[in-house]
Structures are given as structure tokens and as C-alpha cells.
């Protein structure tokens, strides 16, 4: 039987059984609407508020500063649009880093099409935000600056606290997409100095379709989704109670296990990386401090899509930086922003480990990747 190894935790993670157990009652008998005044509604309300406190605890926020949403993507959209909507001219522009997730980047681009000034800040060859470039681009016309904490493709950590100091000194609000950092490195919204911060449950062994936006107390924000008064008028719609409860437990577990899990996963990632970098013509993409679970490696002369398919056939799940776009495959905007040549971008694989990953898994994956690269190179040569 084929041995399966999942090394794509930056795409999504398995739901922790403890998370599932906590969610199930709210999909069965405890089906109340948290806005209902009766006992069934109040049971749901209590569970949502307990989850809010747990999620707040993961990032050092107050529970009232957490707004539940339906995804990290919705939170990113809300941060950019919600914080710029009340802004007064001339302070209406947006500055985002070049390596943001499409949830930020495409929102910013849509806002540009709608007439706002949107400026993209550069990163260096290692994939780290260029703070001098940011400082030059943030000014009196900037309403919001958005910088992610950890990049989803390289895992490289960004100087968010420094970026926030620059932005706030110039009067702008700061949003941080911390979706890929949560559960991997400690996060403290006060130490980061951000006004808005995005999280997503399914990247920390919680369910899909549950996210949140931290909104610092007093931050002016217009809701993206309108309707009822849920989430203190900041996000309308009946709460996804089971999802929110699962998010809360996932956040509590992530916080509890953070240090031991980060050490364990980093050792496995380094072991895998060492093996893969020993392959002829392999290069690591991304420099500097990284989250413990991610590595991004290019294999000279190979097409990453073909390699991914070969690995999939052998049960090893990884990802390429490329995303399917209308009309074909679009090479990674992150690796391109780092100035990597097209051949290197097109030959890059992302391998991301998680809570269930074992030493046997990484050793097997290293064997399979090494063999597949060798085989593909021999086929090309013949």
C-alpha cells in the first residue's frame, strides 16, 4: 500500500480531534442562535464568548477586540476596506507589501481600480520587507498599511513591529495578516503595535470557514458585511457557532503547545531541508528568521508542477508557489517579488509540516523527492 505523507499544512491542517469533539454538540442538540434570548440561544452565546476569549488569548487581545468572520480572506478584505472607508481625504490610500496573500493583494488591486491610491512596498532577495522602501511610500495620503507576519510560501517572518512604528508615526492604521504565523510563533498585538490582525482557524487545526479580525479598541471600522447587529455591529450574520467553538479550542491548543511543538517541528523541517538541499542543484528560497514548519526549495532545471504530480502519485502531498489563474498557471508572485529568475520560480516546491508530522514522514518524503528529482532529470537527459 502507498504510504501517504501530508506536507502541505500551509494550505490547510487536519482538524484536531479535541476540536471536533468540542464542535459536535453545536451541530447536534445545541443548535441555538446566539442572538436568541431563550436558554438554547444563551447556551450558544456562552460558547461563542468562551471561544472569543480563547482566540483573544492567542494574540494578547481583549475578547471584545475579536470579530469573528467566515475566513482569513474575509478578515483581510474587511481590514482593508473597513478601515479605509471612514478615512477622510487626503488620507485614503493603501500600502501593502509585495508578498501579501492574494486576499490582501487582490483586495488592494480592486480598491485601486475603484480609484484609491494603492502602493506596493518591496521585499529584498531573502523575502523580507524593505523598511526603507516602506518608509518612503507611507505618507499623509496613507490610511492603512498591510504587512503579513509570516509569508505563506517561504515562511519568512516580516518586521511587522518596525513597519507598524513607521506607519503609525505617519498617522496610518496598520493591518497584519497573521494567518501563517499563528500557532507557529508567539503573537502579541500590543508588542506588534498593530490596529488590525487577521487569523484563520483552519491553519491551526481548526475548521475551515472560521476566521477573525482583531480590531484594536477605538479603531474606526466600517463593516464589510451588513445586516444584523452581530459582533457588536462589526460583522453581520448569524455566527458559525460550531466553527467559532472549534476555532476557540484550536487557539487554546495552539497556545498551550506552541513552544514544544515549534521546537519539534523546526527540528524535523531542518532535517528534511538538509536532505533536500543535498540534492544536486537544489536551492533554498527565503532568508532570515522563518516560521518553524516551512521550507521552499527550487530544483534546477525541473518543472515544479510535474514534480508535484510525480510526488502526488507516490503519496507525498506538497505544493508549488504557482496558483491556477484564468488562462493557466501563474508563477509565484512572492518568489518573483524576491527577484528570483523565472527558472528558479518555476522549479520551486513548498513543503510545510504540522502537528501530525513525524521523523519517519520526513525521511520518507526526502527519499521520495530525491528519487523523483533524479528520475525526472534522467528522463530529461535521455
Ligand X SMILES: Cc1ncc(COP(=O)(O)O)c(C=O)c1O
Q: How far is the CB of 215 from ligand X (least distance, A)?
A: 17
Length in residues, the chain: 382
Residue of 61, 105, 148, 302 interacting with ligand X (CB under 6 A): 148
Of 40 and 110, which CB lies nearer to ligand X in the complex structure? 110
CA distances from residue 354 to 254, 298, 344, 374 in whole angstroms, order as listed: 11, 21, 26, 27
Cell of 44: 450558544
| 354 in contact with ligand X (CB under 6 A) | no
Any contact of residue 200 with ligand X (CB under 6 A)? yes
Per CB under 6 A, 123 contacts ligand X: no
C-alpha cell at position 333? 508572485
Nearer to ligand X, 196 or 372 (CB): 196
**Residues classed as catalytic:** 324
Instruction: Select from 84, 180, 319, 320 the one that contacts ligand X (CB under 6 A).
Output: 180
Task: Give the 3-state secondary structure of residue 120.
Answer: strand
Q: Is 211 in the site for ligand X (CB under 6 A)?
A: yes
- Minimum Å distance from CB 181 to ligand X? 8
Residue from 7, 52, 67, 73 in contact with ligand X (CB under 6 A)? 73
**Angle 358-364-369 (CA atoms, 0-180°, nearest 5)?**
125
Q: CB of residue 204 vs ligand X: minimum separation in angstroms? A: 11
Taking CA 340 as the corner, what is the angle to CA 336 and CA 343, rounded to the nearest 5 degrees? Answer: 100
Contact 220, 86 (CB under 8 A): yes
- CB-wise, 179 or 245, nearer to ligand X? 179
Beta carbon of residue 265, minimum distance to ligand X (angstroms, whole number): 17
Q: Per CB under 6 A, does 77 bind ligand X? A: no
Nearer to ligand X, 45 or 290 (CB): 290
CB of 381 to ligand X, least distance (A): 36
- C-alpha closest to that of 114 among 81, 78, 90: 81
Judged by CB under 6 A, the stretch of 77-85, 155-163, 175-183, 244-252 that binds ligand X is: 175-183
Minimum CB–partner distance for residue 102 and ligand X (Å): 8
C-alpha cell read off for 178: 497573521
Q: How many residues bind ligand X (CB under 6 A)?
A: 14
Q: Is 103 in the site for ligand X (CB under 6 A)?
A: yes
DSSP string, 200-239: EGGGTTS-TT-EEEEE-TT-----SS-SS-HHHHTS-S--
When binding is defined by CB under 6 A, the residue of 16, 133, 177, 195 that contacts ligand X is 177
- Nearest residue (beta carbon) to ligand X: 72
84 or 200, CB closer to ligand X? 200
Return the residue of 72, 243, 246, 292 that touches ligand X, per CB under 6 A.
Answer: 72
User: How many other CB atoms are found less than 10 A from the CB of residue 85?
Assistant: 14
152 forms part of the interface with ligand X (CB under 6 A): yes
Q: Does residue 179 touch ligand X according to CB under 6 A?
A: yes
Cβ proximity to ligand X, 45 vs 152, nearer residue: 152
Q: Which range in 67-75, 128-136, 320-328, 357-365 contacts ligand X by CB under 6 A?
A: 67-75
Angle at 339 between CA 336 and CA 340, to 5 degrees: 75
Asked if residues 239 and 48 have their Cβ atoms less than 8 Å apart, the reply is yes
DSSP H stretches of helix in the chain? 17-23, 39-59, 72-84, 102-113, 131-137, 160-169, 189-192, 230-233, 241-277, 304-313, 333-337, 342-346, 359-381
Which of 9, 54, 81, 101 binds ligand X (CB under 6 A)? It is: 101
Residue 71 touches ligand X, criterion: CB under 6 A? yes
Measured CA angle at 155 (ends 71, 73), to 5 deg: 15
d(C-alpha 234, C-alpha 229), whole Å = 8
The site for ligand X (CB under 6 A) is made up of: 71-73, 76, 101, 103, 148, 152, 177, 179-180, 200, 202, 211
Amino acid at each position: 500500500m502507498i504510504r501517504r505523507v501530508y506536507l502541505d499544512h500551509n494550505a490547510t491542517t487536519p482538524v484536531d480531534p479535541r476540536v471536533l469533539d468540542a464542535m459536535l454538540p453545536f451541530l447536534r442538540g445545541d443548535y441555538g442562535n446566539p442572538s436568541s434570548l431563550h436558554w438554547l440561544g444563551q447556551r450558544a452565546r456562552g460558547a461563542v464568548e468562551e471561544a472569543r476569549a480563547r482566540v483573544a488569548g492567542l494574540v494578547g487581545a481583549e475578547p471584545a477586540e475579536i470579530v469573528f468572520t467566515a475566513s482569513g480572506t474575509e478578515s483581510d478584505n474587511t481590514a482593508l476596506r473597513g478601515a479605509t472607508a471612514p478615512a477622510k481625504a487626503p488620507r485614503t490610500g493603501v500600502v501593502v507589501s509585495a508578498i501579501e496573500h492574494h486576499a490582501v493583494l487582490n483586495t488592494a488591486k480592486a480598491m485601486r481600480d475603484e480609484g484609491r491610491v494603492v502602493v506596493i512596498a518591496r521585499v529584498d532577495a531573502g523575502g523580507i520587507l524593505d523598511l526603507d522602501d516602506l518608509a518612503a511610500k507611507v505618507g499623509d495620503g496613507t490610511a492603512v498599511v498591510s504587512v503579513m507576519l509570516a509569508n505563506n510560501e517561504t515562511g519568512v517572518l516580516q518586521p511587522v513591529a518596525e513597519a507598524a512604528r513607521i506607519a503609525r508615526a505617519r498617522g496610518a492604521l496598520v493591518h497584519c495578516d497573521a494567518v501563517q504565523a499563528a500557532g507557529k510563533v508567539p503573537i502579541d498585538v500590543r508588542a506588534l503595535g498593530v490596529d488590525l490582525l487577521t487569523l484563520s482557524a483552519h491553519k491551526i487545526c481548526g475548521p475551515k470557514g472560521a476566521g477573525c479580525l482583531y480590531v484594536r479598541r477605538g479603531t474606526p471600522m466600517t463593516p464589510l458585511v451588513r445586516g444584523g447587529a452581530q459582533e457588536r455591529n462589526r460583522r453581520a450574520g448569524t455566527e458559525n457557532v460550531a466553527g467559532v467553538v472549534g476555532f476557540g479550542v484550536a487557539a487554546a491548543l495552539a497556545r498551550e503547545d506552541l513552544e514544544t511543538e515549534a521546537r519539534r517541528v523546526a527540528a524535523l523541517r531542518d532535517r528534511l531541508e538538509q536532505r533536500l538541499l543535498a540534492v544536486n542543484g537544489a536551492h533554498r528560497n527565503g532568508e532570515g528568521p522563518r516560521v518553524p514548519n516551512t521550507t521552499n526549495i527550487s530544483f534546477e532545471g525541473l518543472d515544479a508542477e510535474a514534480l508535484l504530480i510525480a510526488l502526488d502519485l507516490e503519496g507525498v502531498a506538497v505544493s508549488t508557489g504557482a496558483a491556477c489563474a484564468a488562462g493557466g498557471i501563474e508563477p509565484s508572485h512572492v518568489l518573483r517579488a524576491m527577484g528570483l529568475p523565472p527558472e528558479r520560480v518555476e522549479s520551486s516546491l513548498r513543503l510545510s509540516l504540522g502537528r501530525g508530522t513525524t521523523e519517519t514522514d520526513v525521511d520518507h518524503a526526502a527519499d521520495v523527492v530525491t528519487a523523483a528529482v533524479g528520475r525526472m532529470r534522467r528522463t530529461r537527459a535521455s
